[in-house]
Chains A and B, each alone.
Chain A
């Protein structure tokens, strides 16, 4: 754990005990197995909001506490440990980052207080294909006298069903694949011409496909500068990557602890299986991987708080290293638990399923290895 301020330690402890008590993996299981169509418990979300979690990175002038990304990461890590479902990450980190980085004064006033008090859920609508590709944008925004008309579709939109507004990456010029001609728009979810379809993803969380048919927006909906959205988009994505890396660190750490606990209690051949050197060495390897990943995640969040010049590099590093750890750890979780790990009744499967969704979000490990090489100039 990074050297934390007193306030950060307090928030971390509060988050840890609250999540275990009120938003545990059992609560998520209840939502998954429940009759209702919602992907998270409104009760849990509203309690998170009332603790101020949705305003962590939002300045006080807009109703937040301005405590920064590292602090937010501490909370996301605890949520990740228990697979707590909520729009906290999608809206209060990604949505809020988008508005903070690209929003005009009026956009900030319009949306940030709502994000902080939970009345707005603002999410990023980016992907159009099955692989993370921030330049492959085909959804068009045609300029006209009244503003722009958006046509196209987005997939795998995080909390897409519950969102009140989307940050839509659209093309105002150029061809899919080009960094030029990308523009971001803030579009209300109830705008005419929007159709959303729930995706039944393997992790039973909230993702949706969104279709835009001749959706009309005014010039005031543009986030940042027309045609120059690529750099803004990458800046938003880097914050999303560092943030989700914190959640992944929590999910992986919990998987590690569940595995370690099992190694200490499961008896076979007359002894606890953790006494076998083959398993002890694997546990030691995962422990090291976990600690190395933690260093990367914390450093990435700190680089954002410090507004360093290498946020891109650090975010790719964090997403990749914690992705490797979570990938391997979630497989190991099943393997070490043996037969019981294969049952739906046991939680291991929930962690494995969630792990792959998290890995795929905002670029998987291969994506970030490639990006890191590019940043390093080879």
Chain B
């Protein structure tokens, strides 16, 4: 056994002991129930807040960040051990979710581009799950062609003055801070006049309105800026260099969206669900032979996707750099999730066509909503087609396709 392996084993024991002493047993397995904490009260709410604070004090909310910014300066391997030990006892890390787009996207970008003062101002409160961040990217006229955005920020000497509109902003209605791409030089070419600016949401010039989706959920908002203000020192990176910084941030987004889990990959084996609805012959073979082989093919694709994540992790020796390879995984994760939910719909038959009501089980209704929900996967974070542009240009070195500007 190598020295390194020994150290990791020791660390695992430390983690296990620490969790044993600190994770409130009342929260065991309640990660999804507690969620953002809005729907719980009393003892459960107190315990979950205590747990958040304890975890943050340990620096394990986002353990790879340096300790001075609220992390613990640990490696990916250590984080993996923490996650495994948490899984083992039904514990969970609520902080990434409580920080919205903070820990997963804005934070890594601040780490890379931010001033020391910005890091100290923003990162510790992300790492403790105290501040929920949203991200102002898309606009009504700027979707896949994000660089055509028109929300503008004017330099008013002692502050930035922001006017315009954003859309598809996750969690804008509950966010305390926002990081947005805004136009700071209207005369420059469209990719050259953009900056990334951060500001608090609790001000008169910012209004939000949830957008109801086909799934019935409203995870996204419209955001309106009418003379909203940002402090001068909240410009992230260089003035008018927001485009490259913003693309970099999206790579973090892609990486966070391509995990092995995800909403549509876990759960009961699809084959077993299919057997319940479709029935089997005397050999235990699904009666719908066409569905059966498509199901097998889907499960293979899912496994291939997971093996690819594992391979990339192994090749990178646990420290996955943010690379263009992430854009392959986004499309394959999308394929897997969308195919899975389509197959679920198909095999449930008319039981998969319910919107609400006691005639349908909670699982059935949940599957329907999920089927509608994951249609967004091929649209957000750079659409399926944009991902293919990125692969063909950045990985394969093919000449720029027909985009202009």
Which A residues are closer than 8 A to B by beta carbons?
A: 1-3, 260, 263-264, 271-272, 274-277, 279-281, 283-285, 287-288, 291-296, 298-299, 317, 320-321, 366, 369-370, 372-374, 376-378
Q: Are B400 and A275 in contact (CB under 8 A)?
A: yes
Instruction: Assess whether B280 is in contact with A378, with CB atoms less than 8 Å apart.
Output: yes
Quick check: B304 and A376 within 8 Å, CB to CB? no
Please measure, in the bound complex, the distance between the C-alpha atom of A274 and the C-alpha atom of B402, giving whole angstroms. 11
Interface size of B in residues (CB-CB distance below 8 Å): 46
Question: Is the Cβ of A280 less than 8 Å from the Cβ of B398?
Answer: yes
Look across to chain A and name the residue whose beta carbon is closest to the beta carbon of B391.
Answer: A284
- Answer whether A281 and B388 are a contact pair too, CB < 8 Å, given A293-B304, A295-B304, A296-B304: yes
CA–CA, A291 to B296, complex, Å? Answer: 20
Residues of B within 8 A of A264 (CB): 397-399
Q: A272-B399, A275-B402 are in contact. List 5 more A-B contacts (CB 8 A).
A: A281-B389, A283-B391, A283-B398, A373-B286, A373-B292
Query: Contact: A277 with B308, CB < 8 Å?
Result: no
Distance in angstroms between the alpha carbons of A377 and B285 in the assembled complex: 8
Say yes or no: B308 contacts A292, CB within 8 Å. yes
Instruction: Closest B residue to A300 by CB, please name it.
Output: B307
**Given A287-B396, A369-B296, A378-B280, does the pair A2, B314 have CB atoms closer than 8 Å?**
yes
Are A320 and B300 touching (Cβ within 8 A)?
yes
Known A291-B328, A376-B271; judge A280-B299 contact (CB<8 A).
no
- Please report B residues at the A interface, Cβ cutoff 8 Å: 269, 271-272, 274-275, 280, 284-286, 292-293, 295-297, 299-301, 303-305, 307-308, 310-311, 314-315, 317, 325, 328, 331-332, 385, 387-389, 391-393, 395-402
Q: Does B303 lie within 8 Å of A296, measured CB to CB?
A: yes
Which A residue sits closest to B303, measured CB to CB? A317
Number of A-B contacts (CB under 8 A): 127
Q: Are A3 and B397 within 8 A (Cβ)?
A: no
21 contacts between A and B (CB under 8 A): A1-B315, A2-B314, A3-B317, A277-B401, A280-B398, A281-B389, A284-B387, A284-B392, A287-B328, A287-B391, A295-B308, A295-B311, A317-B300, A317-B303, A317-B304, A320-B297, A320-B300, A321-B301, A369-B293, A376-B271, A376-B299
Do B271 and A373 touch (CB < 8 A)? Answer: yes
**Least Cβ–Cβ distance between A320 and chain B, in angstroms:** 6
Q: How far does the Cβ of B96 sit from chain A's closest Cβ, in whole Å?
A: 26
Contacts of B296 in A (CB 8 A): 369-370, 372-373, 376, 378
A240 CB to closest chain B CB (Å) equals 19
Which residues of chain B come closer than 8 Å to A260, judged between CB atoms? 396, 398
Using known A-B contacts A377-B284, A378-B280, determine if residue A321 contacts B399 with beta carbons closer than 8 Å: no
Q: Enumerate chain B residues within 8 angstroms of A377, measured Cβ to Cβ.
A: 271-272, 284
Contact, CB under 8 Å: A274 / B399: yes
Of B300, B317, B331, most A-chain CB atoms within 10 Å? B300
**Distance of A103 Cα from B252 Cα, bound (Å):** 53
Instruction: Tell me which of B296, B308, B315, B317 has the highest count of chain A C-beta atoms within 10 A of its own C-beta.
Output: B296
- Contact between B299 and A292, CB atoms less than 8 A apart: no
B388 engages A285 (CB within 8 Å): yes
Shortest distance between the CB of A113 and any CB in chain B (Å): 35
Given A373-B271, A378-B280: A274 in contact with B398 (beta carbons within 8 A): yes
Q: Which residues of B contact A279 (CB under 8 A)?
A: 398
Distance in Å: Cβ of A275 to nearest Cβ of chain B: 4
**B304–A321 touching, CB < 8 Å:** yes
